[in-house]
Every structure is written in structure tokens, then in C-alpha cells.
Amino acid sequence: MKLLISLLSALVLSQSVLAEPQAKPAQPGLKQAYASHFLIGTALSQGQIEGQDQAALAAREVVQQHFNALTAENVMKWEELQPAEGQFNFGPADALLRLAKQNNASLIGHTLMWHQQTPAWVFTGPDGKPASKALVLQRLTSHINQVMGRYKGQVKGWDVLNEALNEDGTLRDSPWRQILGDDYIATVYQLAHAADPAAELYYNDYNMNNPEKRQGAIRIVQQLQKAGIPISGIGMQGHYGLDYPDLQQVEDSIVAFAATGVQVMITELDITVLPRVDDKAIGADISLNQQLQQQFNPYSQGLPAEVAKLQQERFSGLFRIFLRHSDKISRVTLWGVNDQQSWRNDWPMRGRTDYALLFDRQNQPKAVVNALLQLAAEATR
């Protein structure tokens, strides 16, 4: 009888508790947990920026709770901002700036100079042949002045130059370098500094753990420093997998980059759980575009718990390193909000089902989020 009464009263109690309007449990966001260490960023698709549908709105709630630095996944690239000469399309980038302000988040500019997602007209002369150095220089100057001018004082920092290095640390033979010559790097940083003297200026690339590429990045920074041209930081993109890269190499790069006197950022972090298609698929060469082969797409019906666990351990291993070097690291940005949006579903092979980020296809936090919150709490104590 006693038991029955206590059971009944427990029931009544729980119902009355349920009847009370409940505030959502105040789970701290990643941005709060990491506030004393570094910014926690994410990259937004155009749909998310424009709040196109329910999924986009749900993603924006995640952004509000967890992220305090925003990068445009695409809408601030050259082909989006100036698809045809003199025709600027600032709408989506303006919307991202508004979103950043609403969320009290830093806006990161990505990217001013890249050999990808730059329209062919930039490198083409009026006669259809490769444009002259003078013409390309004039177009570069105009693009930087228009774009950086518009957002002057509102962008924390720009990925001025993206992916200028080969894996062996030599300079990539991009159209920029071919047309402008080797001093194109000094030129673009000078232009950027003149357009917005207060903005931080970064060099950004993938596979920056690779010791040869690491040396190449250090050379770029030191040459700029020697010439008295401002450079504020190095971005390590961080498109990783379950079995690469060697975490020791990641840590060594962080230490070596910081030793040049600039800040280090992880700018595009994601961890694919899918089998590697080939060795070129280490890194982030966006020109890779293989057709779907089902043997490389094992988790289209869901992710086995043990694989999710491996990914969580990998993220945790990385964040332990980031926390250990938080005096050198100013920001860690994930390349997307949720698994649905991630470019890794389509790179290097189209149409796979990947699980590369921290929030699932319904924008729910994966277990890894709690693990990262805990790591921050332990490091903060």
C-alpha cells in the first residue's frame, strides 16, 4: 500500500512538473565552452544564409547556440561575388553579415584569390587569349577594392590567398602565378592591406600537416614579413579522415606556424568516415569528381555506433591538441553545420552518405558534441 501511495504521488508530481511550462535545459554551447580558448566557427551554405526552408532555420538555431565565427561556404568566392566583369552580386554575402551581427559572431572572408571558383573571364583577354598581366592586375585590384571596401571594418579577417602550394612546398602553377609572376603573393597581400588596413589577413591551405607543405607556408609568411607586408595568420583547412593525417604532424605544424609569429587557425574542419577512394583524396583538391561506386558508400542506411565512436575519438584527439596550443590558436571552424550539408557527401566522389560534422542530418548534436564540451570544461578548470 505504502508503495502504491508513493508511486501515485510520484506520478502526480511528475505530471504537475510536466504541466509547468519548462524552459529548455540550458545546455552550454560550444562557443561558450571554448570562449576562453578560441572562437568556434562554422561555414554556411547559401540556403542556410537565406533561411530558405525548415532545415535551414533549424541549422541557424544550431549556429546561434554553438558558433561565434561564420564563414561563407561559397557566397563570398569570386564566381559568386563577381560572376561577370563588373557585375557584383552582394546579396547573399550581405545576408551573412547581418546573420553574423545578429549572432554576435565574427565574419570571416573566404576567399580573395584562388585558382578555383574563379570565373574564366578573369584570366581571359578581349581577344579570347590569356589576359595580359596589366589587365589581370587591374581586375584583381578592382575586385579586392570593391569586395573588401564594401565590408570594411566588418570582416574580422580574410583568407587572402587560398591553396597556393603544391604538396612538396613549391608554388602551385596557377593562372595567377603564370600571369602575374612569383611576386603575385606580395601583390595580393599589399592590395588587401590597403583596402582594409584593420582586417586580419590569412594564408589558407589543405594538408598543412605535411612537413614539406608546412615549410612552403612558412616561406610565404617569412617572405611577406621580410618585405614588411602584413600577414596575421595561417589557416590549416583540416579536411581529415579516420586514419589520416598523423596527429603528431598536425601538432608540429601548429607549433612551427606559431613560431613565425602569426596566429594559427583551423579553418575548414571535417572528418570523413568513408573509405578512401584513392590517395589523391587526402586533402581537398576540389577538382576531384568521381562517379559514385557503391563499394565506397557503405553507410547509406546509417552509421554503425563503432564508427561514430572512432570519429568521436578522432575529433577529441584533435581538440586535445587545439586546447593544448590554445595560446597559438585563435579559431577552429567546422566546414558546415550538419552532415546533410557537408561537401564531403560529394567529394571526392559524388552522391555518398558521409557523417563528417558535429550535428546530424536533423541538426541534432551527435555524441561528439558532449565530448568536446567536456574537454573544454576540463581544460578551463
Give the interface with ligand XIL as residue ranges (CB under 6 A).
73-74, 162, 237, 268, 284, 286, 343
Shortest gap between Cβ of 342 and ligand XIL (angstroms)? 8
Beta bridge partners of 233: 202, 263
Decide whether 286 or 310 has the Cβ nearer to ligand XIL: 286
To the query of whether residue 80 is one of the catalytic residues in this protein, the response is: no
Shortest gap between Cβ of 18 and ligand XIL (angstroms)? 43
Decide whether 28 or 167 has the Cβ nearer to ligand XIL: 167
Residue of this chain nearest to ligand XIL (CB atom)? 343
**Residues contacting residue 57 through CB under 8 Å, at least 6 positions apart:** 51
Shortest gap between Cβ of 26 and ligand XIL (angstroms)? 32
**By the 8 A CB rule, do 291 and 349 touch?**
yes
Q: Which three cell numbers stand for residue 96?
A: 551573412
- Of 73, 80, 200, 268, which residue is the catalytic one? 268
Alpha-helical runs (H) found in 196-286 = 211-226, 247-259
**Residues contacting residue 189 through CB under 8 Å, at least 6 positions apart:** 160, 161, 201, 224, 229, 230, 231
Distances (CA, A) of 336 to 42, 64, 109, 214, 339: 5, 14, 15, 25, 8
Of 208, 209, 212, 231, which is closest to residue 220 (Cα–Cα)? 231
**Residues contacting residue 79 through CB under 8 Å, at least 6 positions apart:** 117, 118, 119
Decide whether 80 or 196 has the Cβ nearer to ligand XIL: 80
Please give the Cα distance from 103 to 112 (Å, whole number): 24
Shortest gap between Cβ of 373 and ligand XIL (angstroms)? 26
Decide whether 232 or 237 has the Cβ nearer to ligand XIL: 237
Decide whether 186 or 286 has the Cβ nearer to ligand XIL: 286
Shortest gap between Cβ of 35 and ligand XIL (angstroms)? 26
Q: Can you give the C-alpha Rg of the chain in angstroms?
A: 23
Please give the Cα distance from 256 to 261 (Å, whole number): 9
To the query of whether residue 268 is one of the catalytic residues in this protein, the response is: yes
DSSP letter for 169, please: S
Shortest gap between Cβ of 343 and ligand XIL (angstroms)? 3
Decide whether 224 or 269 has the Cβ nearer to ligand XIL: 269
Please give the Cα distance from 370 to 373 (Å, whole number): 5
- Of 50, 163, 200, 313, which residue is the catalytic one? 163
Decide whether 48 or 237 has the Cβ nearer to ligand XIL: 237
Backbone angles phi, psi at 181, to 5 degrees: 85, 170
Shortest gap between Cβ of 12 and ligand XIL (angstroms)? 53
- The three-point CA angle 119-123-125 to 5° equals 120
Active site residues: 163, 268
